[in-house]
Structure formats: structure tokens, C-alpha cells
Structure 1
Amino acid sequence: MEGFNLPEKMSRPELFDFEGISMVPYFTDNWENVQKFQARPDDILIATYPKAGTTWVSYILDLLYFGNMEPERQTSVPIYLRVPFLEMTIPELPTGVELADKLPTTPRLIKTHLPVQLVPKSFWEQNCRVVYVARNAKDNVVSYYHFERMNIIQPEPGDWNTYLQTFMSGKNVFGPWYDHVCGFWEKKQTYSNIHYMLFEDMVEDTGREVERLCSFLGLSTSAEERERITQGAHFDAMKQNKMTNYSTLPIMDLKISPFMRKGKVGDWKNHFTVAQNEQFDEHYKRRMKNTTLRLRTEI
């Protein structure tokens, strides 16, 4: 199945306040159906703030469950169809809810960027497993900035300094980064079925993190198999792979910036000025003072 064709006249959306966070219509137009979504007990929800390693973890999960069983999916079905984006609603394309409802796989792998308080209730009621990935704020803001530059269903980001201020004020699509990562971290204290992963840990030792993931999922995957998956999910391999690099989805102008740009830890140092870094650190300390969550900005 090839990628989709988009309607001609798509224009960049304006942000608006929605349920207490900044949103755009492409993620709220199907809201009633998103909220009513019926999760099944064996569904696995992949939850992240945008640009925190969502596609990476989605692909690892897909390989763990279906890499051997259905190898042809790996070369013919793009990742965004294998792991539907639940709240995505683009005119004339199937909605994320429709794609998730039609998934032929068990378990169903479903992705969301919704903050914890907006995740459809049935995921909690069915005690679904949730895999959350957090990425340090500095690399996350850099990645999100380049993503918004090339993605026409996101607002115009402005220049880097403007964007950094926007990020600190929390006026990004899907709301403040701080609330997102801390919200799922807090939820983990009362809901045992969350596996909370850190992007930096994955970059540092992908094999170890895949092993931890298998243990959370109760999968007895052999060491050889895990090694194969770790190699297949290497950033450079995924960047070349048309089924994982989003080159078949025409809402993104990959000439401006590739969907999979660098996948590194510490790229923020190429973007932040000394003054921006000091201002950001100060703000970060205030915003994160009540959480035990610790993220590394270098490894």
C-alpha cells in the first residue's frame, strides 16, 4: 500500500486552546470518536510528546511482535499504518481511530501524543500496557522546531528564538512539554502498566532498552532476535527505510528538514546560545522542581 495523497488546499493551522492545552484542528476534529475509542486489554499504547522517539519505539515494538510473522509488512506497509496515530484527522484520509479499529494485528499498536489527562479512558479501564518515551527538553525543542518547519499540519514555528520562547511558555501543539513528561511520570506511580523509557538511555544502549522492554511486555525474545531488531531499528537504517522515514506521507516537506533528522543526544548545543541556555535552565528548574523525573542532556 503506497502513501496517501492529500487534499490540494491544506493550509497551516492556527493554534487554539482545547481542554486546557494548545491544539490544532487536525488532532481535535474527531474528538468524540477519539474519546469513545474502545481499547482492548492487549492493546499497547505508545505515548510520547512529539519528537521524543515515537517512531523508533513504534518500529521496535512492531519488529518484536510481527517482524518474523509478517515480514512482507516490513517492506510494504508504512509505519503510520501499522501503528496508527489515534487522534490524527486529516480531511479525505482515514482517521487514526478508523485505522486503529481496522488493525488486523494482535496486539494492536497505537500511538498518541495526548497528555495523560486526555488519553481515552478505555485504555486505563482495560489496564492496557502503555510505553511512554521522554526525551530531554533541550533536544526535544530542537527536534520539534525542525519538525514544525517542514510539517504543514503544524503552525508556522517562526525563528529559533521565537520558537524557544513558545516552547517555554507551553504554547505548542499538545501543550507544555513539562506537563506531558511529568504527567505520565506521576501516572506511573499509581498505574503499574506504564513502561517509562528515556530517549537518552535508548541512544546509549539500544540493546539493553529493548531487553527491558521485552521484560515489561512479558516477551521471551532470544538474544539473537533482540540483536537483529536493535540493528534494524538503528537510526541510520530507519532513516533510509521508506516504510519508517515518512517519505510516503505528503504533509511533510522533507527538503526543508528530514522527518528523521539526527536522532542524537546533545544536538541542542548547536542551536542554543549561551544566553538562551541560561534562560532555559533557570525556567526548567522552576518548572521541574516538584518532580523526581531526571533527564540527561548529554550522554
Structure 2
Amino acid sequence: MAYETNVSEDDIIRIHDNHGNTMEFLGSGGQYLSASSVRSGRYPNPVTNIPRLRKMNVNEDDIFLCAYPKAGTHWTWEIMTMLLQQSAEYHPHEKESYMYEFHIPETLQALEPPRVFNTHVRPNNLPEQFFEKRCKTVFVQRNPKDTAVSFFYHCKNLIQFGGTFEQFMDFFLKEDEPVYHCAWYKYTLEWEQFIRENPDHPVHCIMYEQLQQNAIEEIKRLATFLKTPCDDKLANLIAEKCSFQHLKDATLKVKKGGNSETLYRKGKVGDWKTHFTVALNEKFDQYLQRHPTTSVYTYEILPYTRSHIGGHLGDEMASETNVSEDDIIRIHDDHGNTIELLGSGGQYLSASSVRSGRYPNPVTNIPRLRKMNVNEDDIFLCAYPKAGTHWTWEIMTMLLQQRSEYHPREKDSHMYEFHIPETLQALERPRVFNTHVRPNNLPEQFFEKRCKTVFVQRNPKDIAVSYYYHCKNLIQFGGTFEQFMDFFLKEDEPVYHCAWYKYTLEWEQFIKENPDHPVHCIMYEQLQQNAVEEIKRLATFLKTPCDDKLANLIAEKCSFQNLKDATLKVKKGGKSWTVFRKGKVGDWKTHFTVALNEKFDQYLQRHPTTSVYTYDI
């Protein structure tokens, strides 16, 4: 909707900095919008509209979502609309269609109830009837440093602010002149005062960081306030649909007129640290000291914080980062490349991934995993890296849920060696754990309870090529493919995860010596050639129904390209470039020189396996 574009020059407020940047505002009641947005007809003129909004009629069941810009308004609004409609479906319109100060009263009053208005206005600019009818209010806050960073990028995109971040902060921290929308400290102090002085007005407070850390619990808390039913299933579905990446995608693809580029950037807690200089941080802290609030803000999510989204591990989880130098194993080649590993039981992870908190330290975690409790219906998917773990795991989850829908999480959320026992044991059943560990590193109860096992293999030459690109992306291996092969073919030193020949021989020995343990073997190449038949064979092993229709649907959904796209667009935190490359059989021929091929064949002859591999289709 376009609004009246006539603007009086006398009403325009121009704010300048010392670097030649200017912001032009129009406002009323200490509330300001961009003059250019009003001139273009995007928003009504607040000079005349804010006074009219204060006189607007509201319903008793109207709900007001109040938050400073970039504090989580979009996120919370979507959650609220899903709770009210009792389904995890996105509202067809952007939240701006319900944004109080962006419309005239007649437009807002024409919206169908129940109406969830969202707004960045200070309490004094809300309708008089909001106070009289005690409309339910949800007040969302975020730590002001992350708010400032996000607001900077928002202003660059939306009102074409042309200065640097530090120049923007000159505007953000102004205390004696207008600030776009309003000054953060005034907004926050006035809302805190309103809540304190109106204990009978129903207000529910949410902290952005708590919503990110404990989405399920915060959604259920919000549902209780709204008096809407919300069981664990619905809370999980809403949390997943309202993850940052999913909302960003939905804004672009589902919403009418959505533009995610101006709304979503990172959504991370603590990103301010990459933008604030020490001097700016000190200046900001002084600003906060001059305007103390009663709220306590979280400025980072500390290591080993769990974020249970969708019942699984959130992307923000980090593990203990203290690593003893004595535990680090450094493997070198003759070209100056070094791989640093940490391990236990012949199983190794990248030391840098452990230091960064991405994975727990295997030195202490592998022994704990061996003592982990497992259920009789737990299934273990075992494969050497790049042998088809992602592919098979998705097929298995679809068979178990009896529909060709992608699991909302990446398979790493169920990866055995990537988590501590407590995290894995908290996952919902039925659980399909996937792992690259050798048999000796599985839980003792895996053997006692004879858990179903799916063992996937792929020809080792294609594995080696795919593994090279995986290591380039994931652990930043900087050498050439031939230099990487020096590490891959090592027989007397540790190999990242473990040596291929040791892994394969030990699994073959386990299968041969334990005929009563239920193991289903899959060859990557056969799965690629005859997907439907292999899926039906797997379903028989899992004792799940699978007719031709379901098998064909799963085969299509789990094609290489579809899985690659889903990892990027559907999965929470998915990064397809680190997981998927080509998936072709025989791609090794474009990488192996004749000399390297002869060297690899000699390696295979020294370590003969009983498996027969397909090196070309």
C-alpha cells in the first residue's frame, strides 16, 4: 500500500555527523521514521499518523508485540502466529503488514482477528485503548551491542546509510538528538517503567538470547501466556520452522513481497565482537552506565551451551575447548603440510575442530561413549568418511517415518563421535546414530543388545578423492591431492578419523565373527545404480513397510542434487559445500596419476579385504 507522499520541508529533521553523513527523519511523540521512506509512499507520515494511531480502536483480543528494531521482532511474530493458528505454517504475509507505525488506523482495523500487531514504538505512542483494554503484550529484548550491529546493516539496506559502522554508532549513541525509530536507552527505560508501574497489564517478557538457547521451552512459555495449547510436538515443529535460516528462506520464497536481504543477516549472539573496536566498546559501556536498565543482557553464548531446537543439538552448541598440548598428535609430510589430531582407541578428530568447540575432545569423550546407554531399537549407521553416510542416513530416516520428508536436522546432530553421551541419550526415539568409528569404539551395550547395524562401503579410490575435498573445506588442508594421499595412505601413523584399511578390515572381521548381530551391508555404487531396489532391501532389514511408490519417492528426494539442495535450504545450519561435491562413481580417474594409481593398488594388495569394489559404472 502506498501512502500520501506530500511532506513539508519544515517537518523534516536532519541529523549530521562529523563525516558528512546525514539522516533525515519525520516524527511525532519521540518516534521517527526515515523521511525518504515517507516521501516514497512506503510509510504514512508519522507527524500526522502517530496522533491518529493513538486514537485507534483496538479489540480486547488484540496482541501487541513490542521490541526495539533488530531485537527479534520477525522471529517472535512468526512464532506467535503459529501458536495462534495451532500449526507450524508461515503466515502468508510479512510481519510489516501488521506493523503498527507502518500503517494508518483504517488499514490496521481492517485486519482479521486475532491480530498480532508488532511495533517499535515507545509506550506513549500506543493506542489509548491498548491501556484501557489491557491488551496482551509481548516485550522482546536483545543485548544492545548485537542490536546495534544488526541495526547498522538494516539501515544500510533500508534507508541507504552510506557511512561505516563506527560512523553509524555516532547516530545510534546520540542522547540529545533524534535517533531513527527512537533512542535505544529511552525505549528500554520507558518500557521497563511501564511494566513496573502497571503490574495488572499482562506483559510477557522474552530475551532473544534465551529464545535462541532454549527455543522449545521459550515457545511453550509463550503459549502459556497466550493461553494456546502447545505440546512438545508442536513446539518442536515451530522451533524448526522458525530457525533463522528457515525464516530467511521463507521470507524470500513464501511471503508475499518478502525480502530477506533487508531483514536477516546472521542472527548470531556475540557477533558484535567482530565489529566493536576496544575503544568503541568502552564508549558503549559508558553509555550503558549513564542509562542503567534493570534488564540483564547476555552478550555471548558461552562454550558448551546447549540449544535444543527440534529436540536436537542446536548449531550454537560448543564443546570444552581446553586441549592439552601433550595430547595433540602432529602428522607431517615432506612438503610442509601438517595435520593436528586428537584421539583415543585409534579414532582421531581434528585438533582445530576440538579447540574451536565444534566437537568434544575424543581423548576423554570416546571412553565415555563406550559406556553410553543405548536402546534395543537404536540403529547404528557405520561407514568410512565419504562412503555415503549422509545419503543412507536420510533414506533410513524417511523409511522409519514412512514418508519422503527430509529430517529437519543435519545427520551430524545424530553423529556418535561428534557429541557427548548426554546429548545423544537425549535424542528422541527411534534414533539412527551414524558414525565413522571402528567397532571397538562403539558402546558396550551396542554389542550386548545387538543393535541393528547398517554398514556402507564405497570404492576406496573415490572415497580418497572426496575425502581430500572434505578435508580442504572442513579442516583447511592446504596441500595438493597427491600430498593429501601421503596422509591417506599412511600405515604407521594416525590418519584423520582412522586409516581406511584398518577401518574396513576390522568391520569385516566383526561381521564375520558375529553372525548373530544384525548387519545390513550396502555398496554405494549399487545404491547409485539400483536405488529403488536397494531402498526396498534396506526397508526389509529395518522391518518397515515400503512399496514401490514410497521407494521411488525416497529415491527421488535422496538423489544427489536434491540432497545437496536440501542441506543448504531445508536443514538447520546446513552447508552443502562441505558435504556434497559430485557423488560420481569413477571420478577418481580424473585425479589419480598412473603412478599414484599403482601406489594405491600396492596399498590394497598389502591389505586385502573380502569386499569387492566397483571402480566405474
TM-score (norm 2): 0.42
Q: Alignment partner of 1:161: what SS?
A: helix
Judging changes above 3 Å, is the alpha-carbon distance between structure 1 residues 260 and 67 closer, same or farther for their aligned structure 2 residues? farther
Determine whether 1:102 maps to 2:426.
yes
Residue 365 of structure 2 aligns with which residue?
30
How far is the alpha carbon of 1:52 from its aligned partner? 0.6
1:78–1:242 Cα contact (<8 Å) kept: yes
Q: Alignment partner of 1:197: what SS?
A: strand
1:79–1:244 Cα contact (<8 Å) kept: no
2:365–2:420 Cα contact (<8 Å) kept: no
Determine whether 1:4 maps to 2:302.
no
Residue 550 of structure 2 aligns with which residue?
225
Aligned residues: 276
Determine whether 1:294 maps to 2:612.
yes
Residue 45 of structure 1 aligns with which residue?
380
CA distance in 1, matches of 2:534, 2:345: 34
CA distance in 1, matches of 2:422, 2:570: 22
Residue 285 of structure 1 aligns with which residue?
605
CA distance in 2, matches of 1:281, 1:207: 32
Give the aligned CA root-mean-square deviation in angstroms. Answer: 2.7
How far is the alpha carbon of 1:137 from its aligned partner? 0.8
2:379–2:433 Cα contact (<8 Å) kept: yes
How far is the alpha carbon of 1:190 from its aligned partner? 2.8
1:169–1:176 Cα contact (<8 Å) kept: yes
Determine whether 1:160 maps to 2:481.
yes
- Cα distance per residue 1:243-285 (max 9 Å; x no partner): 6887825xx7x6xx54211111111011111111111112211
Judging changes above 3 Å, is the alpha-carbon distance between structure 1 residues 13 and 133 closer, same or farther for their aligned structure 2 residues? same
What amino acid sits opposite 1:295 in the alignment?
Y
2:557–2:563 Cα contact (<8 Å) kept: yes
Question: Which structure 1 residue ranges, 5 or more long, are not aligned?
Answer: 89-94
Residue 210 of structure 1 aligns with which residue?
535
1:207–1:227 Cα contact (<8 Å) kept: yes
What amino acid sits opposite 1:158 in the alignment?
G
What amino acid sits opposite 2:379 in the alignment?
I
How far is the alpha carbon of 1:221 from its aligned partner? 1.5
What amino acid sits opposite 1:160 in the alignment?
F
2:509 maps to which of 172, 176, 186: 186
Residue 77 of structure 1 aligns with which residue?
409
How far is the alpha carbon of 1:75 from its aligned partner? 6.8
Q: Alignment partner of 2:453: what SS?
A: strand
Residue 147 of structure 1 aligns with which residue?
470
Judging changes above 3 Å, is the alpha-carbon distance between structure 1 residues 139 and 212 closer, same or farther for their aligned structure 2 residues? same
How far is the alpha carbon of 1:179 from its aligned partner? 1.5
CA distance in 2, matches of 1:168, 1:52: 17
How far is the alpha carbon of 1:33 from its aligned partner? 2.6
Shifted more, 139-148 versus 192-201: the winner is: 192-201
CA distance in 1, matches of 2:346, 2:365: 17
Determine whether 1:86 maps to 2:430.
no
What amino acid sits opposite 1:14 in the alignment?
E
2:398–2:407 Cα contact (<8 Å) kept: no
Judging changes above 3 Å, is the alpha-carbon distance between structure 1 residues 50 and 193 closer, same or farther for their aligned structure 2 residues? same
2:344–2:366 Cα contact (<8 Å) kept: no
CA distance in 2, matches of 1:174, 1:163: 14
Residue 559 of structure 2 aligns with which residue?
234
1:169 maps to which of 490, 497, 505: 490
- RCO comparison, higher one (Cα < 8 Å, 6+): 1
- Cα distance per residue 1:164-211 (max 9 Å; x no partner): 121111542221101212221221123231111111111111111111
Judging changes above 3 Å, is the alpha-carbon distance between structure 1 residues 23 and 184 closer, same or farther for their aligned structure 2 residues? same
CA distance in 2, matches of 1:247, 1:146: 22
How far is the alpha carbon of 1:51 from its aligned partner? 0.9
Residue 265 of structure 1 aligns with which residue?
585
Q: Which of 1 and 2 has greater Rg?
A: 2
What amino acid sits opposite 1:55 in the alignment?
H
What amino acid sits opposite 1:87 in the alignment?
E
1:48–1:54 Cα contact (<8 Å) kept: yes
Q: Alignment partner of 1:114: what SS?
A: coil
What amino acid sits opposite 2:614 in the alignment?
R
2:408–2:571 Cα contact (<8 Å) kept: no
How far is the alpha carbon of 1:133 from its aligned partner? 0.6
Determine whether 1:128 maps to 2:451.
yes
Q: Alignment partner of 2:454: what SS?
A: strand
Residue 62 of structure 2 aligns with which residue?
none
2:345–2:440 Cα contact (<8 Å) kept: no
Residue 125 of structure 2 aligns with which residue?
none
TM-score (norm 1): 0.83
CA distance in 1, matches of 2:611, 2:346: 23
CA distance in 2, matches of 1:160, 1:79: 27
Judging changes above 3 Å, is the alpha-carbon distance between structure 1 residues 149 and 247 closer, same or farther for their aligned structure 2 residues? farther
Determine whether 1:65 maps to 2:400.
yes
What amino acid sits opposite 1:298 in the alignment?
D
How far is the alpha carbon of 1:43 from its aligned partner? 0.6
CA distance in 1, matches of 2:343, 2:315: 29
1:16–1:23 Cα contact (<8 Å) kept: yes
Determine whether 1:54 maps to 2:389.
yes
CA distance in 1, matches of 2:398, 2:372: 25
Judging changes above 3 Å, is the alpha-carbon distance between structure 1 residues 32 and 286 closer, same or farther for their aligned structure 2 residues? closer
